[in-house]
Amino acid sequence: MSVRRYIPAVAVAVLLAAQLSACSGDDDADRVRLGKVARSDVAEVVEAPGTVSARAAATLRASAEGTIERLYVGDGDRVQEGDVLARIGSPTAREQLAQAREADGSLAGGGVDMPAALDMSGFQRKTDRSARQGFSAARKVALKIPDLRQRALVLAGITRAEGEYRSAAAAAREAVARLNAGLGSVGNAFSSITAAQRVQTRAAVRAGERTVKALTIKAPFDGVVSLGGPAGGGGGLGDLASRLPQQLAGQGGAGGSAASGLGALGGLGGGTAKDASSVATGAPVSSGDAVVTVTDVSRLSLAADVDETDVLQIREGVEADVEFDAVQGGTYTAEVTGIGVTPKESTGGGVTYKVTLVLKEGTLSGGGRAPMPKPGMSAVVNLRVREVTGVLSVPSAAIVSSGRDSVVWAVVGGQAERRVVRLGAQGDTTVEVTRGLKEGEEVVVRGADSVRQGEELSP
């Protein structure tokens, strides 16, 4: 939950203190003090809790069941895009690819014998039904992928294969219809159905090739390595393949392998969590297990939770001062780059909105350069939502709330005079006054809530 704080841009209180004078009488001197309306700079600040985020982070997972054949990196290593980080040995993945290629080769080369007394209409309907089940199963598993980019790639592959199948299936239905009308041959109808089946075997080959290729884990971008990573929402390529039914088993002997890889059209981001101690050469992994996490720390950002009462004052480009508990005496600068529109309920029952900032360099209280924080560290973000310079202002203690009015006690002829004023930027110790006072006028700056109209207030 954000908190409104007000911080003056200059130490106006020091300047005003020099102008303060005691009122008549020792008791009044302790109770009331006077000061003059002066010009100063005022900065209005909204305070919000924040968390550091990296520019990007990717958890790289085992694409199939096997063992870590070779691990090339350790915790904290810096890597560049394309560097090989680990190799997974998986006889299962290579066997699935071999089976998919064999099945596809059989259909392509005409090596599948046409069963005798085959009901072509029934054969075609069974092929379509199996394909629908396979695509549906693949889509359900793909929708569980937590990584949005990987999910989109998998779903795009499934959609592409579905489109290819629809075209091939339409041709097969037309061939069967011609056969039933006495205008076509059994061989043509069988070939058309086989062509539709081959859409699945080709998808299985592509999936198998991607699975095997993904056994070599490479850095997707420059960054810092951490071994292991969090759990995901699903499995890897091999896990997706194993969940699909053996859809066309018994139909010419080729369909089972086609079905086993039908939905495995891209990389998945699921599986179990792994800590650094369980990631080593020779260690077993399951499909989808986290192996390595790469984090790009070249640019750090902040996510601040700003209260609904303050968020409308935030705009892109607003600057902020940032403090971290982990960096005592350090102050950083940041700039707002985005303002969210999705509400989030805060712990206090209110509503907050996410404000994103880019984090810049910091300085220590002694003047040295502050170390850059790490992703996940908490921060206090002071957003400077309004800054004015050279404006009429009074100490914030001079302002008294009276219903909807803001009131200041001016001193006219040695007596207190009630003035309703209009406020502008409101700092922590200093407040801008846009109407109701003139520069140089004397006002009550301490004890204002105890003053009465006409009260004698001699300097």
> Is the pLDDT score of 26 beyond 70?
no
pLDDT of residue 196: 80
For the beta sheet containing 284-285, the strands, ordered from the edge strand earlier in sequence to the opposite edge, are 216-218, 84-89, 66-71, 284-285
Of 315, 311, 269, 313, nearest to 293 by C-alpha is: 269
Q: What value does the mean pLDDT take over residues 357-378?
A: 92
Calpha distance 365→325 (Å, rounded):
14
Of 375, 355, 372, 354, nearest to 363 by C-alpha is: 372
Can you read off the two tokens belonging to residue 103? 């099945």
When mean pLDDT is compared across 8-22, 169-183, 288-302, the lowest value belongs to 8-22
Residue 233 CB contacts under 8 Å (≥ 6 apart), including other chains: 144, 145, 146, 269, 270
pLDDT of residue 267: 40
- Residue 151's pLDDT band (boundaries 50, 70, 90)? confident
pLDDT of residue 233: 53
- Considering the chain, what is the average pLDDT of its residues? 80
Q: What value does the mean pLDDT take over residues 261-268?
A: 37
- Residue 27's pLDDT band (boundaries 50, 70, 90)? low
pLDDT of residue 288: 84
CB 212 within 8 A of CB 95: no
Diameter over CA atoms, the chain: 121
CB 297 within 8 A of CB 223: yes
pLDDT digits (tens, 9 = 90+) for 420-432: 999 988 887 888 8
pLDDT of residue 366: 84
pLDDT digits (tens, 9 = 90+) for 131-148: 787 778 777 777 776 667
Give bridge partners of residue 193 from the DSSP assignment.
none
> Is the pLDDT score of 218 beyond 90?
yes
Residue 285 CB contacts under 8 Å (≥ 6 apart), including other chains: 62, 65, 66, 67, 68, 88, 274, 291
Alpha-helical runs (H) found in 214-361: 237-243, 255-260, 308-311
Calpha distance 69→75 (Å, rounded):
18
> Is the pLDDT score of 63 beyond 80?
yes
Q: Which residue has the tokens 């709330």?
A: 401
Angle subtended by helix axes 186-213 and 120-142, to nearest 10: 20
- Residue 114's pLDDT band (boundaries 50, 70, 90)? low
> Is the pLDDT score of 258 beyond 60?
no
pLDDT of residue 141: 72
3-state secondary structure of 211: helix
If you compute the radius of gyration of the chain from its CA atoms, what whole number of angstroms results?
A: 36
Can you read off the two tokens belonging to residue 195? 């062509």
Fill in the DSSP letter of residue 278. Answer: G
Buried-exposed string 225-237: b where 16+ CB fall within 10 A, e elsewhere: bbbbbeebebbbb
Higher pLDDT, 259 or 194: 194
Pairing of strands 284-285, 290-296: unpaired
Fill in the DSSP letter of residue 261. Answer: T
Amino acid type, 70: R
- Residue 187's pLDDT band (boundaries 50, 70, 90)? confident
Percent of the chain as helix, strand, coil, to the nearest 5: 30, 35, 35
pLDDT of residue 4: 52
pLDDT digits (tens, 9 = 90+) for 289-348: 899 999 999 999 999 999 998 999 999 999 999 999 999 989 999 999 999 999 998 777
Q: How far, in Å, are 112, 183, 238, 256 from residue 260 at the CA level?
A: 19, 36, 9, 6
CB 63 within 8 A of CB 93: yes
> Is the pLDDT score of 115 beyond 60?
no
pLDDT of residue 20: 40
Calpha distance 159→153 (Å, rounded):
10
pLDDT of residue 210: 83
DSSP 38-59: EEEEEEEEEEEEEEEE-SEEEE
- Residue 226's pLDDT band (boundaries 50, 70, 90)? very high
pLDDT of residue 250: 33
pLDDT digits (tens, 9 = 90+) for 379-389: 999 999 888 88
